[in-house]
């Protein structure tokens, strides 16, 4: 993938992530699907890893498809992702979001 295409894809990911409401989460795959790149969940993960330091991109609201905090090691502190989620009222137990289906935000249905 060219550097320009990757940059554009990352920017599109960030645009979607900025729309996730407080107290809700989505998955890498849901974002990829919304962007028309269904098999690019891993690229969304790379975008999230590159988002740290961008204060306006709430990367803590993006988790894997079963609600695991798979990106937690990319935060400044290992517990930072969990703390940010808890501050928004989301319950996390053993690095997994409790009641994941209840707090899941699907851009395909929420942004149409």
Nearest to 41 by CA among 72, 56, 62: 62
Distance CA 72, CA 69 (A): 6
User: Both tokens of residue 21?
Assistant: 């409401």
First-last CA distance in the chain: 28
Tens digits of residue pLDDT in 49-102: 999 888 899 999 999 999 999 999 989 898 999 999 999 999 999 999 999 999
Burial of 30 (0-12, 13-18, 19+ CB in 10 A): buried
Whole-structure pTM value: 0.92
Structural domains in the chain, CATH included, are 3-106 (1.10.10.10)
Distance CA 109, CA 112 (A): 6
Distance CA 72, CA 5 (A): 26
User: Both tokens of residue 18?
Assistant: 């900025």
């Amino acid at each position: 993938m060219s550097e320009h295409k990757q940059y554009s894809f990352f920017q599109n990911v960030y645009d979607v992530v900025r729309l996730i409401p407080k107290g809700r989460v989505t998955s890498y795959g849901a974002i990829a699907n919304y962007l028309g790149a269904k098999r690019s969940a891993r690229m969304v993960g790379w975008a999230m890893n590159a988002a740290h330091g961008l204060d306006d991109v709430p990367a803590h609201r993006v988790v894997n498809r079963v609600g695991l905090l798979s990106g937690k090691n990319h935060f400044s502190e290992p517990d930072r992702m969990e703390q940010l989620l808890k501050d928004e009222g989301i319950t996390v137990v053993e690095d997994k979001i409790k009641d994941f289906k209840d707090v899941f935000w699907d851009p395909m249905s929420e942004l149409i």
